[in-house]
Structure 1
C-alpha cells in the first residue's frame, strides 16, 4: 500500500474548513455583540454630551441599536445550530465595515475612536477568509474613510487634517490586510503540512496494525508484572485459542498462561536465559517464546514473540525418520530373518504327531509372540518409509463420511458388527492434511477405540465428532470410545513408543499417529473432559496460517 508523502514545496493552501470558520466566527460575533452593547451603554451614561457633540444623534442611535439587534440575532441563530458558510461570513464583515463607518459619519467623524474598530473588522475578515476578498475589505474601508473625511471637509468646513488621518487609516487598513494574509498563509501552510504528516503517520499506523494483526508470529507487549498491554490475533489464537477482532478490546480478565508467566519471571531474573517450549492448554501446539525489552532506556515494557514450533518439529521428524530408516534397515536384516526361521521351525514342530498338550501351548506362545515382534517391525518400517507430508485441503464432513463407510466395510469376524457414530458441526472450516497419512491416523485411532470399547462393554463402537474451535477458524475431530479410560498417571506416557496397556498391542499405534499429526502441523492429544471412556482430539492448524 503506497503512502503519500508531503511535498518539499509544501501542500496546497486551503481556507479554514467550515467547522473552523464557524468556531472563529462565533468568537468574533461575541466580540461584536459586546462592542454593540457598550456603544449603546455609553449613550445612556452621557446623553447630554451625546446630543451636543454628535452630528446626527438620532441616526447614530438608530445605527447602534440596529448593530446590536443584528449581532444579537446572529448569536441566537448560531446557538440554535446554524452553521454559517463563507458567503455569510463575507456579508457579516462587509456589514461591520459599513455600519461602523455609518456610526463614524453620524458621530464626530473620522477622528472618532470608532475608526480603530474598522481595523479589527478587517483583521477578522482576513483571518476568516484569507483570500483576495481581504484586500477588498481594506479598499472598501479606505474609500469609506476618505468619503467621510472628504464630505466633512467640503460640507462642514472640517479641517484638512481629517483627509490626512483618513489616508493614514487607509494605509493601516491595507497593512493589516496584507500582514494578516501573509500570517494566515503561513499558518495554513504549516497546518496543511502538519495535517499531511498526521495523515501519513495515521496511514503508517494503520499499515503497521494490519501487518501486526496478520503476522503468523504471535506478538505481545507486557509490563514487568505480566499484565498484557497489546496482543495480536496470532498470539490470541496460539495462547488462548480464541483470537479477538482487531477493533475488539482485550478482555480485562485475560491473564498469561502459567508456563509463559513462569518463563517471563525466569527471563527477568536472567535475560540471557531461553525458556523451554510449552503448551498453554492440552490441545494447543507447542510454542516457543522469545523476550526482549521494548524500550531499553525505560525498561517498563517487554516485547514477546510467540512462535508455533510446528515447522521445527516437522524438520526434526524428518531427521528422526532418516535415522530411523537406517536403523530399520538393520532391524529387517538382523531380526526378521531369525524371526522367520523361528516361525518356520514352530510350524514344522506343529506337524509332529507326538506333541503333547503342553507342547502345543508352547508353540502357540511362539506363534503369538512371533506375530507381535513382526508387527512391531512392520510399524517401525512404516515410520521409516513414510514420505514427506503433501498436505491437501480436506472437506471434513465429506471425507469422514467416506472414511467411515470404507472402514466399516473392511471389518470382518467379530468386528463385522462394529458401529461408528459420526456427527459434525455445520460450516466446518477446511483442514489441511496429507490424505493418506490422515487415513492412517484415523485407522489407528478407530482400531484402538474399538478394541478398548469391546474390552469393557462387549461391543465394538466408537463415536467421532468433527467440530469447530472457539474462534470459528479451525476444525478438530474427537474420537471417543466406551472403554475403561486412561489412568491419570499414564496420560503422559500414552504417546511414547512401545507403551501399551494391551498385551496384544505393539505400543506404536498412538506414537505413529502423533508423529503423523505433527508432520502435518496438527496436534493429537488426550481430551480430559470427565466423560466415560477415552477421547482423543486432533486439532488442525489454521488453514491460512500453515508454515
Structure 2
C-alpha cells in the first residue's frame, strides 16, 4: 500500500534512483535490453533505509494495450554473507597450511640464503685483498662487484618470495600475472629440496601472452602444494626424478592451464577418487587438507583442478584458470 502510485526508484540507492526513469525511457526509445529478461544482483533499500542485497529479474508484458514491467526480487543478503564468510575461512585455512609448511621452508631459506651471502662475502674479500695488495686490475674488481650485485639480488628475491608466500592474504586482492611467473617464483623456493633429491625441473612455457587475474598468494600456494607433493612422490624412485611444469592455453576455451607432472609411482587406482576428500592422506605427517584446499582455491577463481596418471608413469595435476578478460591471446 505504501508503494501504490509512487516511483519504484524509491527502493534504489543512488545513482540508480535518479537514473531509473532515464533507463526506462532509453529502453522504450531504443528497444535495447540491459536488464529485462536477465538476472542481476544489486543493492536496494528497506523502508528504514538499511541496504538489502537482492537478485532482480525483470519481465515485460502487454495487457489491454498497456505495457507493463514486472520485477521479481529475491533476498540474497544471507547467501552473500555466507559466501563472504566462506572465502574468509578459506583464506585463514590457506594461511594455516602455509605456516604448517614453515619447517621445510625454513630449511630452504637457510640453505638458499647462505649460498649467495657466502658468495658475496668471498668475492668482497677477494676484491679487498687485491686492493690492499696495490694491484691495479679494474677489470677483475669490476667482475667481483658484478658478482656481488648478482648474488645479493638473488638473496633478496628469495626473501621477498618467502615473505609473500607466508603473508596473510586478502581474498579480494586480485592482480594480473603470467602463469609462468607464478611457477618460477615457487620453483625458487624449492631449489634446495630439488637439489637434495637430485630432481630436475623441466619447463615448457607456451603461453607467453596468457594472463590470468588471481590472488597471487593463493595460487602460488596451490602450485607449491602440487610441486611439493610431486617431490614427495619421487623420493622413493630409483630412476630419473623429473618435475615437469608447463603453461599453455587450455583445451577449455578461455582458460589457461598450468600442468605439474612427476616421474613418481603415480596415484593408486583405489585412491584416485579420494584425492580431494578432506582429511584423506597417505602421508605419515599429512593433514589431508592440502589437495582439498587447492581445489577450493582454484574453483573460487572460477577454475578447475584435475589429476590423472601419465601413460609413461607418474602423476599429472592440471590447474585451469580463466584468461584475463579483454586480452587477446594467441
Q: Classify the TM-score, shorter chain.
A: 0.3 to 0.5
Q: Which has the larger radius of gyration?
A: 1
Bigger fraction of residues in helix: 1
Point out the structure with the larger strand share: 2
Q: Which of the pair has the greater relative contact order for Cα pairs under 8 Å at 6+ separation?
A: 2
Normalised by the length of structure 2, the TM-score is 0.46
